[in-house]
Chains A and B, each alone.
Chain A
């Protein structure tokens, strides 16, 4: 408190109230069983809903598939841009920021107009990986960019080349291990974003975790609140993972 000052402490307190009061009310409402009774009935019911488990599994599968697409497509592109075309950085920044300014509903309309095949993909929930890739792009790009900037990629690559290594050996043995925390951070952020994504899945009629949560909320208010709390916990677990990995990196050591 001595270091914060009274003004800062008040601002922090107000922010904490703003953040925690709705959350606490949601938790309280999720525990409400009518009258003055409180318990875990909503959670109990939720855990026995078969469609919820399958929706959660589907969302996690979509998150993993999206993360894999990001690793396969985005990471090599960023490494090559940093090594061989640093002048393209503004273009990368621009493209990575676009999903923030294009409304999801516009993106999904464009997607359905442009991507009409193949049937095995369009009819499958994994069709969602395409819009999810763009949805997660800004977060994944930012996390990877921080990791890459912390490395002197050019010097490390040249050092590896002067020691007789091929570019792929350098990427495999040097670059990827040093981007481990950035990669895990981007994957967990992707997971957090996709678990809570509603618009794309709802418009494209796929029953993901967020869609099911919405359906439940229309009929069972306390169960919806319980579901919200569970979604929060999942997202927080992902965020805690990011923090723990980041701290682990600081302890193991990185580039200087």
Chain B
């Protein structure tokens, strides 16, 4: 268990900057998730922390000690890889006791530690099995036990669930979180799956193009994205470009209620982000309720308990759709082609200045 501090870390490949003077501090026992699209630099950052990649500049501190120039084997970090990485010639038990074995721990202690950890990941009865006899989920659990067997200061998880099917992924997600809480090991998880990041992390670090855009709790990342990329990347949102007015954003000829627009100078170019769960729909019944906008239902998508309805606001270009999430039992009333009223609380939309937008 330890704090991790990444200070001004940069990395370039063939002149292309992959990480740009990046700073990140993690507290003891925290699970932080590096989230971003493919190629954003999250795996490079994890591999720099692990010691597999040497940064061009900057430092990595673990528990206050500079580990920037230490080889991976000397860093006492457990790592679980995206690819199945169990040693094929060893049983699950032998895989887990590999770390203690090469560290010269007494054999009895190796075995008892490995058995205890296999029990922790729920695979005590599979100790004698070889990797090819285990499912993908079981292999990753053994890999987790193996990483914990070296009693690491920091646990590094490089998209450990991405090769698994959805159901196993959901189970293992909860299990990793439980084990991380029980052991209290500072953990860095890399993922491009926002659901995984939001459900598992104490804090989420959103990255794009080698930069950290926002580091905050999952709720803050979702509700108060500091950056247009974060707002677009996390969750679903309709993004409409317009100009700020007092309590509204003017998009073409219509005014969209958005209290946050008041924080911007009137007439300033902004983008308004409207999440589907904030949009309410009512059937057209003659008069327009205050603050509501007329819209046509274009299509509906069934997600089980929820149905997502795509709407085209009247007087706006077809491309400027907004979405509304409705309980599926209510959604039958809003079929494609129906004309409806859409409304939302004026405090719900996020409004960001357009010059801040980075892609």
Contact = CB atoms under 8 A, between A and B. Distances in A.
B253 interface: no
A161 B72 contact: yes
B79 A253 contact: no
Interface stretch (A61-69, A165-173, A216-224): A165-173
A151 B87 CA distance: 10
A174 B89 contact: yes
Nearest to A251: B132
A123 B305 CA distance: 85
Interface stretch (A93-101, A152-160, A184-192, A193-201): A152-160
Contacts of B73: 161-166
Contacts of B131: 253, 255-256
B87 A152 contact: no
Given A158-B72, A252-B130, A163 B99 contact: yes
A19 B309 CA distance: 71
Contacts, number: 86
B137 to A, nearest CB: 14
Contact of A156 (B79, B85, B150): B85
Given A253-B131, A253-B133, A164 B85 contact: no
A160 B98 contact: yes
Interface residues of A, number: 24
Contacts of B150: 163-164
A159 B79 contact: yes
A39 interface: no
A173 to B, nearest CB: 7
B288 interface: no
A151 B132 CA distance: 13
Interface string A239-252: 00000000000001
A178 B89 contact: yes
A158 B79 CA distance: 9
A156 B87 contact: yes
B85 A159 contact: yes
Nearest to B94: A173
A161 B99 CA distance: 9
A158 to B, nearest CB: 6
B50 interface: yes
Nearest to A180: B89
A86 interface: no
Contact of A152 (B74, B85, B103): B85
Given A173-B98, A252-B130, A255-B88, 11 more contacts: A156-B87, A162-B75, A162-B78, A163-B78, A164-B102, A166-B73, A177-B89, A178-B89, A253-B88, A253-B132, A255-B131
Sorted from nearest, which 9 A-B pairs have the closest CB atoms? A253-B132, A163-B99, A162-B79, A177-B89, A159-B85, A161-B72, A165-B102, A255-B88, A155-B85
17 contacts: A156-B87, A158-B81, A158-B85, A159-B143, A159-B146, A161-B52, A162-B72, A162-B77, A162-B78, A163-B150, A164-B73, A164-B102, A180-B89, A253-B131, A253-B132, A256-B88, A256-B132
Interface of B: 50-52, 71-79, 81, 83-89, 98-99, 102-103, 130-133, 143, 146-147, 149-150, 156
